[in-house]
Structure 1
Amino acid sequence: MRVRARWQALRATTGQVDPGELDALWAELEVVDAAQILGSWRGFAFLTGHPIEKVLAASRWHGKRFDALDDAKPLICRAEDGSLYSDTKAGRGEATLWNVEFRGQVTATMVYDGRPVLDHFKRVDDNTLMGVMNGKPELVLADGRHFYFGLERE
């Protein structure tokens, strides 16, 4: 099955997604340069049972915004009144964008200012990114598994 078709099938899954399938898809996607992902992105979590899914749902996570390489907002959330804001409290600041090696490939990566956490991105197409959270194992891994998510350009 083509990469785009596999992405769409995983995106449409209503139940839990096998993290192994996400690992395999990640390996096949194209790397992307940090400068190419500037803009606003709506996010969603792939449901694998990772605890971060519940944290993001509780915060009403909307997505991410990359205004410049040195001005990235990892936690754009929806307030009670429906407005969007950057949750700097939960994220302990904001972030920057870099090109960083992960799993043997250099790709766009968001480095959180206040946490030992990195979000790596690969391109599904010009308007869609797959992300994987990496960093200090006790913060980002659940039973040795990474948290996977998607971003769609707004």
Structure 2
Amino acid sequence: MDVHEARALFRELTERDGRVDPGELDAIWAVLPTVRPEEILGEWKGGEFDTGHPLNGMLEKAGWYGKTFHSLHDAKPLMCRNEAGELYSNTGLGQGEASLWTVEFRGESTATMVYDGRPVFDHFKWVEEDTLLGIMNGKDVPDGGPYYYFYLERVSSSGGGLTGDGA
């Protein structure tokens, strides 16, 4: 698979109803370009792939919107919407916030969000200029997974505004 085929399959999988085979996502990941942490600063809207992972659906229930990277050491992994529709950083669910680093994963160094309060890493690769594929990895995840797969799309203008820490 080349990068153009990977991008086409990625778009197909984001629109697919039902389960997605993690093997298809791994094949896409393998050919995508790596990311430098400073390239992804800003606000991102997120979505997940239903691979049958235990986390599937949990973030949606929490009102997950996406991630915001203000700087390398100020990353908000769980931007959620409260009942009024306002964005806030859900530090309770995430046990804190995060920072961006370059970390080796599957033999490549790429931008990785490291959670402050959990042994969790979100690795990123470019799908297109404003789209990232993410793989959540962590201390308790065996080699080869199961991994949680998600994607982020860059938000051009901020909507909703960041409020305090509560829902």
Please report the TM-score for the alignment, with normalisation by the length of structure 2.
Answer: 0.87
Could you list the runs of 4 or more consecutive aligned residues of structure 1 that deviate by over 3 angstroms after TM superposition? none
The aligned runs of 1:20-35 (5 Å cut-off) are: 20-35=23-38
Query: How many Å separate the matches in 1 of 2:121 and 2:75?
Result: 12
Query: How many Å separate the matches in 2 of 1:134 and 1:49?
Result: 15
Deviations 1:3-49 (A, max 9, x none): 21111111111111001111111111110100000000000010111
Larger Rg: 2
Question: Is 1:80 matched with 2:74?
Answer: no
Match of 1:153 in 2: 154
Question: Is 1:125 matched with 2:128?
Answer: yes
The aligned runs of 1:105-120 (5 Å cut-off) are: 105-120=108-123
Task: Find the partner of 1:95 among 98, 108, 111.
Answer: 98
Question: Is 1:11 matched with 2:14?
Answer: yes
Query: How many Å separate the matches in 2 of 1:54 and 1:129?
Result: 20
Percent sequence identity over aligned pairs: 58
Q: Which stretch has the larger CA shift, 73-82 or 54-63?
A: 54-63
More helix by share: 1
More strand by share: 1
Query: How many Å separate the matches in 2 of 1:6 and 1:41?
Result: 21
RMSD between aligned residues: 1.3
Query: How many Å separate the matches in 2 of 1:12 and 1:54?
Result: 16
Match of 1:42 in 2: 45
Deviations 1:64-120 (A, max 9, x none): 000000000000001001001000011010000001000000000000000000000
Please report the TM-score for the alignment, with normalisation by the length of structure 1.
Answer: 0.94
